[in-house]
Chain A
Amino acid sequence: MPKDTNLEKILLIGSGPIVIGQGCEFDYSGVQACKALREEGYCVVLVNSNPATIMTDPEFADRTYIEPVTPEVVEKIIIKEKPDALLPTLGGQTGLNTAMDLVRLGILEKYGVKLIGANAEAIEKGEDRLAFKEAMLKIGLDLPQSGVAHTIEEGIKISREIATTTNKQFPLIIRPAYTLGGSGGGIAYNREELEEILARGLDMSPVTEVLIEESLLGWKEYEMEVMRDRNDNCVVICSIENLDPMGIHTGDSITVAPAQTLSDKEYQIMRDASFAVIREIGVETGGSNIQFSVDPETGRMIVIEMNPRVSRSSALASKATGFPIAKIAAKLAVGYTLDELPNDITKKTPASFEPTIDYCVVKVPRFTFEKFPTADPVLTTQMKSVGEAMAIGRTFKEAMQKALRSLEIDRYGFGADGKGKNISISDPAEIHEKIAVPNAERIFYLRSAFAIGMSVPEIFEITGIDPWFLRQLQQIYETEQKIAAGKEFIPMREAKKLGFSDRQLAHLTGKTELEIRAARKSDGIIPTYRLVDTCAAEFEAFTPYYYSTYGDEDEARDSDKKKIMILGGGPNRIGQGIEFDYCCVHAAFALKELGFETIMVNSNPETVSTDYDTSDKLYFEPLTLEDVLNIHEGERPWGTIVQFGGQTPLNLADDLEKSGVTIIGTSPASIELAEDRKFFSSLLDKLSLKQADAGTATSEDEAVAIAHRISYPVLVRPSFVLGGRAMMIVHDDDELREYMRSAVEASPERPVLVDRFLEDATEVDVDVISDGETSVIGAIMEHIEQAGVHSGDSACVIPPFSLSGEMQDEIRIAAKSLAKELKVCGLMNVQFAVKDEELYVIEVNPRASRTVPFVSKAIGIPLAKIAAKVMAGEKLTDLGFTEEVVPEHYSVKEAVFPFVKFPGIDIVLGPEMKATGEVMGIDPDLGMAYAKSQMAASAALPLEGNLFISVKDRDKPQAVEIARDYHALGFSIFSTAGTAQFLEKSGIPVTRLFKLAEKRRPNVLDMIKNGEVDFIINTPSADRSPRADEITIRSTAVANAVPVMTNLRAAQASVMAIKSLQKGALEVSPLQDYHAG
């Protein structure tokens, strides 16, 4: 059946900001969908609040709305655009939920918008636990045995029934009905615990009811990526087996494709079940992800859940197989069938087939617990990772080791790299614990377990990790030991086939990495590049999507074109996310326009950069010196770009250059110079620019001496980091000494920077583009939050709203002169602080910054593209970009945080970045732009209601003015003693609440939990160790989705926003209109 010609205009809902559990994989799927639909001639209307996405680039949709993804806002877009259909399945859970809200509110019906891909009934069935359970029972699939009890006796009876059907008495999971977050429940491993938990659960449940369920902890976990078309043709795109068994969120698990330990009989039963599920749930067209659990002892197979949409796993499956699930899903949604669509990779065969792969794919999650030291680091069913790396090898061992070195956590494989000093083999008890309780480092502790002589069965018993995986890991360990002992000769080629990096071999044999490399090359042991071809070489593949392995034949195709290699950013992490991938993608597009052959290197399966469509050639490889040099030696590119992928490629720049790689754009030497304090100070002197007093310390005493000279508070941080890693404001010697001892390892090569901290200064970010001759300001961004909050965590505004014209000119001149002196060719970011009308330079980074996509969308100029062209030798004058664009409208960027995933941790912002993503609010009115940004980021600002305000002493005078404003806006003010007294004195009516410490009720927590607080202003009492009850208030507010402002500037900005919201209705406009003409 060909495409539906009754449709003309299709609305796509994006997934909004990057948060834990919903990352840039939905930009990848959204971009594919946009491209696929426009290819078919449809008019695409897109809504997404995330400016860092490629999908929100104005050329990817006909009408691009960077607006909050809420039902109210989407309704306004529907009224304005009158789309014929809404495709809800490509924007993650956010897209799906918003679409369902629109259905429930009757909005789609009202405006005659048809849901395509999946209908509301199917989405409901897939998403609602009870409906899903019923559907599964109907088609005869197995579910965990369970029963509902109202008394302890009943509970015990149910436990016996479960034992009879499953032949296993314990463990059992007890879930009390209607308790928040399932509190009061637990896992019972024996009769005594069962009775105890039953008693507690029944007591805590308001309806005296508990669900008792068979536990699947430790069972094997699988995922199936399935597609269906309107002719009911179903195919499995990829099967995935989790290394980590049930109990750990699949996003936090190491996963492997294809499934490894299922026989064909078992696999086919799982395949049949997957089709039964997608049919019963009723997903008409598109992709779904279905999760299964398998009892390792009996093979019993239980269906866990299904996602009636494309997911993180479908992005992984697409990258793992070369089958573009989102693209095909979009085409199926408009009426095509699988056999009508070609397989992009082979071109000659149809998409109605099941990819077969002849390699092994391993995905490893990337965690950032170092950012949240008080968060619980145990891995559970709640996802905590912020990114992932994928690697491809001909064997599991090769792929696993490549994946681990792709993580960029300074590990170069499965141990054997001299790293990970905290992982010892001296303490068997610790090793037992670390492999028993799932955590981010468990994979490395498995090596330690082998090292202390534990056997595969023993480790299996403790971890539940399938013996197949353990045996594979053990083989890596055994080979490592043989290499290290040097008694038995292990040919280099054998070691490389098992994925050992040169770094590991160097460590094991006491040589340097480059010595190993030289020896290896002189023996002719170089990697071969293999195609990801969907068909295991059965057909010729046309798409150059490669991975390395040590095989017989190299399939990389050479060409006569001038080539440029772009190094990506690797796994997403806090501080280095989608913004950098955005820049890399733009570089690929821009250089293609100039006629270069573009080569992308990256290891992140979630991204648009690793879509085989983005560049001319894609190498899915770790971003280490060894792997990048290998590709370079094969491809011999004319130039290599390192300034777009964040810190990852920059860290390699020096060594790459030394090995003969031509880095284009700003030279690595310049980039390094900007980090060199001495040079930098003299540079600023030369340009007559000021900076806060500062020094560079290589020891604890030196740091203290500097602090005394420049006086406290001081800002301390290691050099060469992104995202403010380990950056802190310290107030006295004790704090400073503790920081130097515990937080960083200072050394002459990696000194610690100590700066005088400018209190209450306004921070300004500037992006500049330069070709060495001409420099143009991208934008001046004025931060909402005061200096001291990491720029990635603060809201900022284009154009500046409070800086004087003179100050802005001073900033322009300063930024341009810095670009000139640093011989910038490409992008540069400068951070300034303005205090008492004085301009201070905080830092300069001669590379693409996190704000590039935001600025590009605010001003309507693709900065990254222009920068890439400049790096390739074009001049700004030729490209027609010589004048700064100062837009008429306001654009506000707001950061989005993962606090809700780490219950109980403090949400106060500081110099260490914690945001996972960002949103943009755009409007002619500043207040409205800020209001939109808040609405898109988390909880919308209230228009009225109860405000709870409690601030530190120093903030009290200013808080009076702010409280007065909120009172004038119609808010009722609540406060605790200290702040209340201050407000009362100034004549502001305020209701006093008990402090938590007063132990009297009702207190503010009660009000928050009862939904009686609409807004909170709470500034921390001390910068370093805020009181426990403040933290409780703030984290409870986050858990209950009450907006909280933790600094007065944000509170002030909110006044302006609420005023705008009260004044008039929110209006929506597409980017295309903002930048027309």
Chain B
Amino acid sequence: MSMKATIRQVDSVTVVDVSGRITLGEGCTQLRELIRDQLSKGNKNLLLNLADVTYIDSSGIGELVSAYTGVSKQGGALKLLSLTKKVHDLLQITKLYTVFDVHDDEAKAISSFAKTTNA
């Protein structure tokens, strides 16, 4: 199963519900284009809901890092929501858990953007 994404707007935050595999090839390309597309529309507060991500590899992690730095450079913020145990463990092992702002509760995640960006 390749990656799928559904986009919804909650207040000033664009929530992206991601499912499937974020791996080298199709999954990573789709995520990269999705982030680029949202930035081009001026959507700079992005919350990636990873609850239904079944698989992520080192390239997928790299894509998350690329998205994080790309959004930050545009003056926005990219945060992560509802990590599966697999994704959580990978971010811990790679020391990236402390880099990303990770949330378990969507409402709290949404409100955290106001504090971060003063939106």
Report whether chain A binds chain B: no
